[in-house]
Structure 1
Amino acid sequence: MCHPALRRALIAAQHLRDLARLRRVRDRIDREYARPLNVEELARAAGMAPGRLSRQFRLAYDASPYAYLMVRRTERAMALLRRGDLGVPEVRRAVGCASSPGVFGERFTELVGMDPDTYLLRAATAPGELPWRVTRRGPVPSGPVSSRNEEATATEPQLA
């Protein structure tokens, strides 16, 4: 057995390495939100097991990697809708949600408080009344992990 102080130091060092890995995962999601991403790929790139990545990410950022990805996609969609030159289907494709229009609409509504079509309409008529960021937190998406990974495997053109 190692000395308790040495053990604490080793645990602290591992914690710092994990935090650095989690920051890289978060930064990748921020950069590549429109690409198909899944936990297995993110975990492999971070050198972590998928379950460990999910647990640690949730502890660090108060959301699963999938929920964090959906917030990023929703915020980008909000910006594109406010711009006004794209319709909802084009925006959905641009943020990486072309293969799951129902999921996109549900999550957008949960996070923004209105559906994307209403948001687009209000952007044209009352832009000052619109939220610019996701300010409310919807429920964490439920269901089997495989359904989240199926969304992530769709191949879509890179728009942004």
Structure 2
Amino acid sequence: MPSTPERSQHLRDLALLRRVRDRIDREYARPLDVEALARGVHMSAGHLSRRFRAAYGESVYSYLMTRRIERAMALLRRGDLSVTEVCFAVGSSSLGTFSTRFTELVGVPPSVYRQRHQSAPTAGMPSCEVKKVTRPIRNREAPAATGH
């Protein structure tokens, strides 16, 4: 077990990492980068990147993009915005990068996802179930949860 000063530092780092994650969850549509997030918690970008990956199993950028894609999925299901409008609404600055990442996480391009959900196959399903069915996979390399 780590000594008390090491343990205290570890707990402080975890609290700072949680602040970074919370900020990404709140401000995903704003221009965010690792350097700005690191400055916000008084860490270097490299240290934040290493600690974030160790704590959450994915990079800061990957977490940010997944959060943006989750929001984009909801906007595309609504059907009143184009893929380009959704891309910029969730904070992406490149339609190509957005489409590529969306396809990686969801399995289909955003235009196909939008078209498939125009008929609302989840209509009438409780929102908690819709969220489970439509959630993207965050980290494909991570072992699958066993449900225990």
Same fold (TM over 0.5): yes
TM-score category (smaller protein): 0.7 to 0.9
**Distance in 2 separating the partners of 1:39 and 1:17:** 19
1:20 and 2:22 equivalent?
A: no
Uncovered stretches (5+) of structure 1, i.e. residues with no partner: 140-160
TM-score (norm 2): 0.83
Counterpart of 1:133 in structure 2 is: 135
1:119 and 2:113 equivalent?
A: yes
8 Å Cα contact 1:107-1:138 kept in structure 2: no
Counterpart of 1:73 in structure 2 is: 68
* Amino-acid identity (%): 60
TM-score (norm 1): 0.77
Uncovered stretches (5+) of structure 2, i.e. residues with no partner: 124-129, 142-148
Q: Which segments of structure 1 move beyond 4 Å, counting only runs of 4 or more? A: none
Question: What's the CA shift for 1:53?
Answer: 0.3
Deviations 1:97-118 (A, max 9, x none): 1x21111000000000000000
**Distance in 2 separating the partners of 1:136 and 1:27:** 16
Counterpart of 2:5 in structure 1 is: 10
**Distance in 2 separating the partners of 1:80 and 1:101:** 15
The match for 2:77 among 73, 82, 88 is 82
The aligned length equals 133
Deviations 1:90-138 (A, max 9, x none): 11111011x2111100000000000000000001135339842113645
Structure 2 residue identity aligned to 1:111: L
| Secondary structure at 1:125 match in 2 | coil
